[in-house]
Amino acid sequence: MKIYKVHICLSEVIARLKKYDLEEYNSSNPIIFVEASDPDGACYKTIYNFAQKITRKDHSIETLEFVKDLFHDIRVIKIELANEKKL
């Protein structure tokens, strides 16, 4: 397993997330560190953890629909190995 830095853009949804305590996701362009075997897995885990933080607070059908709608407005900007040395 490798540790990836996943840069995501939440600028279109951050205003709708004010009532949730999202810890490391509490900015428009958070950088999330994720352990995964490949970049696709890192992207999946990042978005899954984001959705899980919201639904842990509220399990209602409205919240689940809200999270499903958010997925259309979240973008992964960049992904890179966290411990990769740049030359």
In sequence order, the 6+-apart residues with CB closer than 8 A to the CB of 86 are: none
Whether the pLDDT of residue 4 is over 90: the answer is yes
- Report the distance separating Cα 36 and Cα 17, nearest Å: 26
Confidence of residue 85 (pLDDT cuts 50, 70, 90): low
Per-residue pLDDT of 17-65, as tens digits, reads 888 878 888 889 999 999 999 999 999 999 999 999 888 878 889 989 9
Q: What is the pLDDT of residue 5?
A: 95
Does the structure show a pLDDT above 70 at 87?
Answer: no
Q: What is the CA radius of gyration of the chain?
A: 13
Residue 86 pLDDT level (bands cut at 50, 70, 90): low
Give me the pLDDT at residue 58, please.
81
